[in-house]
Amino acid sequence: MTQIGEPVTMDALGSWVHEVLEPEQLTASKIRYGRRKISRGTLILLWALRVYVVLMLFVISLAVWNALHVAT
């Protein structure tokens, strides 16, 4: 470990993490899962939310544009 006031290097931090964590807690030992299949309804809902966000960005930018031009 480092003394108080000394900068902490990534090597020292990495070794400390390996000392503290149990072997099964390290990311190298975790099980990786693939992508989950999304149902058609959920996919439609996600695309609808994306379209909604883009439309709201347009509406907000239009409101800001009008507010700035009315003020001047």
Which pLDDT value is given to residue 36? 87
What is the SS3 assignment for 35?
coil
Q: What are the pLDDT digits (tens) for 6-44? A: 665 655 556 666 677 776 666 665 567 788 899 999 999
DSSP character at residue 29 = G
Which pLDDT value is given to residue 66? 93
For residues 66 and 53, give the distance between their C-alpha atoms in angstroms, rounded to a whole number. Answer: 20
Q: Tell whether the model's pLDDT for residue 52 goes beyond 70.
A: yes
Indicate the number of domains in the chain.
Answer: 1
- Residue 57: give the domain boundaries: 10-28+38-71
Distance of CA 56 to the CA centre of its chain: 22
List all residues 6 or more positions away from 23 whose beta carbon is below 8 Å from its beta carbon. Answer: 29
Mean pLDDT for 34-56 is: 95
Binned at pLDDT 50, 70 and 90, residue 72 comes out as low
DSSP character at residue 15 = H
Residue 44 lies in a domain: yes
Which pLDDT value is given to residue 15? 66
* Token pair 């931090």 in the structure block, residue: 13
Residue 55 lies in a domain: yes
